[in-house]
Amino acid sequence: MKSRKIALYGLFIALAFIFSYIESLFPIPFPVPGIKLGLANLVVIIVIYGIGVKEAFVLSMIRILLVGFTFRDPSTLIFSFAGGFLSWLMMTVFLKLKLFSMVGVSIIGGIAHNIGQIIVAIIYVNNMGMLYYLPVLMVSGVISGTLIGILAAVILKRLTKFINN
Amino acid sequence: MKKNDFYLLGSIIILIAVGFLLMQLFKNEGSRLIVTIDGKEYMSFYLNEDTTYKIEHDDGEWNTFEIRDGYVKMIDASCPDKLCVKQGKAHYTNERITCLPNGVVLEIFGGEESDLDAIAE
């Protein structure tokens, strides 16, 4: 790995980490678990498109681990991992399918994030009734996915030169 | 944005709307509260009997909820995020209050109002 690439990784991980921190300062006044803006996903989707899917996976997992042990209760780690993984997986699949632009892929990622968390919640409390929260969480996933996708497209356009140099 | 993005957005919004609509259609006055812990039924209560109950878990954690005027509310809990307390009141069937850290689900069911009716039949 070239030192430039290492530095770039460090930069993106730090950025995702800071975004998670900023988000933890402003809790969303909505009492359903799992509703977040997901600012850190902005970094994940930019890395997916700008560098590569494998790199984005590593970044996402490291970020979750760091955030889980600092700003959140480590018991929530399993939810973050499930959401982060499913989100990354679905974004990767739909990126390869080339059906949607970055915004569409980001929307899919946002919803997949919440579905991953619901799946863990169903297993965790052993109650299928957790699906009751699905519509509300999907609203959250669509809104955050759309905003993050639009932002990411704008930012990536300006970053491409910097990343590929 | 591509055309497909709008199709995606549109179909997801329709899906969500149908989800909410179905939830509204199958909404009924609740009459019973069933408390499950880690998926196992722990206790059941009637919504027409006002009470306050403290669930004490083996690991020292606890959840306190209140039934008043047909509504259930988590008053306090030992969990760190207190999301269960912030979830407010539940009254209609299928409404629920979940405390993920403690594995507690307060779930509303319909059916008969009290034990007496069931015995009379």
- List, in order of start, the domains of chain A with CATH numbers: 3-164 (1.10.1760.20)
Q: Does A33 touch chain B (CB under 8 A)?
A: yes
Close Cβ partners of A52 (under 8 Å, ≥ 6 residues apart): none
Return per-residue pLDDT of chain A as tens, 165 residues: 688 888 989 999 999 999 999 988 877 767 777 788 889 999 999 999 999 999 999 999 999 999 988 887 777 899 999 999 999 999 999 999 999 999 999 999 999 999 999 999 999 888 888 888 899 999 999 999 999 999 999 999 998 877 776
Q: How many domains does chain B fold into?
A: 1
ipTM of the complex: 0.86
What are the chain A neighbours of B39 within 8 Å (beta carbons)?
125-127
Query: What is the rounded distance in angstroms from the CA atom of residue A48 to the CA atom of residue A88?
Result: 9
* Residue B1 maps to a domain: no
Q: Does A99 touch chain B (CB under 8 A)?
A: yes
Residue of B nearest to A120 (CA): B100
Asked if B8 lies within 8 A of A101 by C-beta distance, the reply is: no
CATH of the domain at B51: 2.60.320.10
* Residue B38 maps to a domain: yes
Asked if B16 lies within 8 A of A142 by C-beta distance, the reply is: yes
